[in-house]
Amino acid sequence: MHWKKTITMVEAHAEGEVGRIVTSVANDIPGKTMLEKMNYINQVDDSLRRFLVFEPRGYAQMSTNLIFEPIHKEADIGFLILQGDKAHAMSGSNSICLVTVLLETGRIKMIEPKTVVTLDTPAGLVRAVASCKNGKCERVTLDMTPSYADQLDTIIEVEGLGEVIVDIAFGGIFYALIDPSQFNLKILPENARKLVDIGTKVHRAINNQVDIKHPQIKGLKGISYTMFVGHDSDGVMKGATILPPGRIDRSPCGTGNSARLAVMEAKGQAEVGQSFIARSIIDSEFKVEILEKKTIAGKSGITPRVSGRGWIHGVHQIGVDPSDPYPLGYKVADCWGDAFDLLS
CA distance 109 to 182: 48
pLDDT at 338: 63
CB-CB contact of 336 with 36 (8 Å): no
- Paired with 275 in beta bridges are 289
Confidence of residue 342 (pLDDT cuts 50, 70, 90): low
Confidence of residue 339 (pLDDT cuts 50, 70, 90): low
Tell whether the model's pLDDT for residue 344 goes beyond 70. Answer: no
Three-state DSSP at 344 gives coil
pLDDT at 225: 96
Contacts of 190 (CB under 8 A, 6+ apart): none
pLDDT at 1: 75
What mean pLDDT is predicted for residues 187-196? 96
Q: Which tens digit of pLDDT belongs to each residue from 119-134?
A: 999 999 999 999 999 9
Length of the chain: 344
pLDDT at 341: 53
CA distance 96 to 128: 8
Domains recognised in the chain with CATH numbers: 5-143+311-342 (3.10.310.10), 147-304 (3.10.310.10)
DSSP string, 128-158: EEEEEETTEEEEEEEEPPPEEEEEEEEEEEE
In a 10 Å sphere around its CB, with 0-12 CB exposed, 13-18 middle and 19+ buried, how is residue 181 labelled?
A: exposed
Question: How far, CA to CA in Å, does 75 sit from each of 46, 56, 103, 198?
Answer: 25, 34, 15, 39
pLDDT at 331: 86
**Choosing from 253, 258, 284, 307, which is the catalytic residue?**
253
What mean pLDDT is predicted for residues 221-245? 95
CA distance 70 to 327: 29
CA distance 28 to 257: 33
pLDDT at 297: 86
pLDDT at 196: 95
CB-CB contact of 270 with 262 (8 Å): no
What mean pLDDT is predicted for residues 138-153? 97
137 in active site: no
What mean pLDDT is predicted for residues 73-86? 96
Average pLDDT of the residues of the chain: 94
Q: Which tens digit of pLDDT belongs to each residue from 249-278?
A: 999 999 999 999 999 999 999 999 999 999
What mean pLDDT is predicted for residues 279-297? 96
- Using a cut of 0.85, tell me whether the model's pTM lies above it: yes
In a 10 Å sphere around its CB, with 0-12 CB exposed, 13-18 middle and 19+ buried, how is residue 197 labelled?
A: middle
Residue 21 host element (H or E):
strand 17-25
Sort residue 327 into left (φ over 0), alpha (ψ -120 to 50) or beta. alpha
CB-CB contact of 323 with 226 (8 Å): no
**Choosing from 63, 91, 224, 251, which is the catalytic residue?**
91
Q: Which of 199, 175, 170, 202 is nearest to 187 (CA)?
A: 199
Q: Which tens digit of pLDDT belongs to each residue from 21-77?
A: 999 999 899 999 999 999 999 999 999 999 999 999 998 889 999 999 999 999 999
